[in-house]
Structure 1
């Protein structure tokens, strides 16, 4: 595929890919964002709505990013977003939920900085550019590209703290890009899917995550429930909790506060199977909402958007139940 005449918008948001060691102190600090290498004939425009390490990125930043992408999309054949890896998967999923455009949007970053001999930033950036400019990428929603693998925003997750191939997620990549010289070879293993859009004008809700563990008796639950409009619990296994949590969840649901049950395991759906107190079946009977296959931090973003749109408890239950994301 020839790239000549195509238009690429690159949005830099910070992260390791745009960091250097600080000569005056410990650690990495943000520096100039990298240019896209090796795209003859492509018109590239650069944008930087903010420059942050990814632990500093909030849903409000994600909403700003979504609005920028919507403005750029009509005049771009593809859009690349560079991002720190710690919360890249959350930004990708937020954009998956909030963007209406069919213009390809690719997110990438790097695990190593520019002064390391094995810096992975330029290769990931070039891969992302090629995928973003390929016609087969249209209509797929935002994708993540890392180390040549392409991931769906709904299932991608960071699986290693320091390895170059840090991203994965069950059931695995949905595509692969390999380059030989100036030629890119792109293959998708899945077809594009229709997806609803959840795009509030502002984020007007608060959602907190609680993490289940052996022996948890509900410590922290009531405080979180009092602060938040909705809760997500990273539960055990297929969606189970200690017995002490059952009345707490029932009280929240009875008051109209959504409580979404995700899993703390690496992958898999929430299945309300067990009927003991705190088992998944009893939690659902008490009003809890299964998160389907979403992990806790992605379930939080979906719940945040639904609440910000003014959805009530039963509407939220319907969205999660139907897997409409």
Structure 2
């Protein structure tokens, strides 16, 4: 009896990887899934089931779309793995949302491209092939959702877009957790770290609202009161290791809503060590919650899920401070 062919779920959501120039001159626009699904070189014999829950540029993707993806993946049944093609602008947010909400027995890999489908030396077909090979590899199980770009394999917790236009647009400290290369004898996949445990937070609906504020030199809290009135919780992309101008300290101390302090820098943890007004130690004493190593937009997604589950501020603090994600 011949071996059972590998099965791959290929989920298209739009983005540059599926885009071509609009003949009307309006710019790049995402195309439908069938054209992109033919770009699977090196995967002959794999049974591919194609899905397209939506077809959007990634700036249009919302947490509701991410929840739709999680629910779709939960219905796939027996498959060897799943690949999601996605625009790069919010790819890391969708990856982290799935990391926090998705439990499935097979690997899930997100990828995209920086060059559109009609451009010379387009990177989409290679990224799609690499992602599919990673998704079907047994070493990729129990790792949570992964991001594959330019042959590098990233953990959803730490991956971030580090360049607006370069082909190697994704990075994130401390770097990739694996690598896939195309050798003479086929793909060579290596992981540099073992699988790690993770915690899942899957509310039945996204009922909370969370806003992000960005700190800068001379900020006196403009926008804080308005965001606090609209939202159930706030995330501040703070300075350095989690510090703010002194004017923010009384605002944070007065609110009863959770305020999570992330950093606007490229990488690194929040360390509440400074005792001056607005320093990280004073913000924590005033009730602010350090975001650990999460950047502001990933901290927002975690806070959104926790508040949608009905967690109180002290429970939220425990999740962030104990790294339960």
- Is the TM-score greater than 0.5? yes
Question: Which residue of 2 is the match for residue 186 of structure 1?
Answer: 189
1:246 and 1:278 in contact (8 A); partners too = yes
Matching of residue 60 in structure 1 with residue 64 in structure 2:
yes
Matching of residue 259 in structure 1 with residue 259 in structure 2:
yes
CA distance, structure 2, for counterparts of residue 196 and residue 144 of structure 1: 19
Q: Which moved more, 1:182-191 or 1:62-71?
A: 182-191
Question: Which residue of 2 is the match for residue 295 of structure 1?
Answer: 295
1:48 to partner: Cα distance: 0.2
* Residues 125-274 of structure 1: pairs in structure 2 closer than 5 A: 125-181=128-184, 183-252=186-255, 255=256, 257-274=257-274
Extract structure 1 runs of 4+ deviating beyond 6 A: none
Are the structure 2 counterparts of residues 65 and 182 from structure 1 closer, same or farther at C-alpha, using a change threshold of 3 Å? farther
Are the structure 2 counterparts of residues 212 and 75 from structure 1 closer, same or farther at C-alpha, using a change threshold of 3 Å? same
Say which SS state the counterpart of residue 75 (structure 2) adopts.
Answer: helix
Matching of residue 41 in structure 1 with residue 36 in structure 2:
no
Question: Which residue of 2 is the match for residue 311 of structure 1?
Answer: 311
Matching of residue 70 in structure 1 with residue 74 in structure 2:
yes
Say which SS state the counterpart of residue 129 (structure 2) adopts.
Answer: helix
Say which SS state the counterpart of residue 210 (structure 1) adopts.
Answer: strand
Question: Which residue of 2 is the match for residue 85 of structure 1?
Answer: 88
CA distance, structure 2, for counterparts of residue 305 and residue 87 of structure 1: 17
CA distance, structure 2, for counterparts of residue 184 and residue 198 of structure 1: 34
Say which SS state the counterpart of residue 243 (structure 2) adopts.
Answer: coil
Structure 2: which 5+ runs fail to align? none
TM-score where L is the length of structure 2: 0.97
Number of residue pairs aligned between Structure 1 and Structure 2: 319
Say which SS state the counterpart of residue 237 (structure 1) adopts.
Answer: coil
Question: Which residue of 1 is the match for residue 116 of structure 2?
Answer: 113
TM-score where L is the length of structure 1: 0.97
CA distance, structure 1, for counterparts of residue 249 and residue 117 of structure 2: 50
Say which SS state the counterpart of residue 144 (structure 1) adopts.
Answer: strand
Per-residue CA distance 1:137-166 (angstroms, 9 max, x = gap): 000000000000000000000000000000
1:182 to partner: Cα distance: 6.4
CA distance, structure 2, for counterparts of residue 102 and residue 215 of structure 1: 49
Per-residue CA distance 1:279-299 (angstroms, 9 max, x = gap): 000000000000000000000
CA distance, structure 2, for counterparts of residue 229 and residue 182 of structure 1: 54
1:32 to partner: Cα distance: 2.8
CA distance, structure 2, for counterparts of residue 196 and residue 145 of structure 1: 22
Per-residue CA distance 1:247-278 (angstroms, 9 max, x = gap): 000111xx2x1000000000000000000000
1:41 to partner: Cα distance: 1.6
Question: Which residue of 2 is the match for residue 9 of structure 1?
Answer: 9
Question: Which residue of 2 is the match for residue 21 of structure 1?
Answer: 21
2:32 and 2:55 in contact (8 A); partners too = no
2:17 and 2:87 in contact (8 A); partners too = yes
1:104 and 1:139 in contact (8 A); partners too = yes
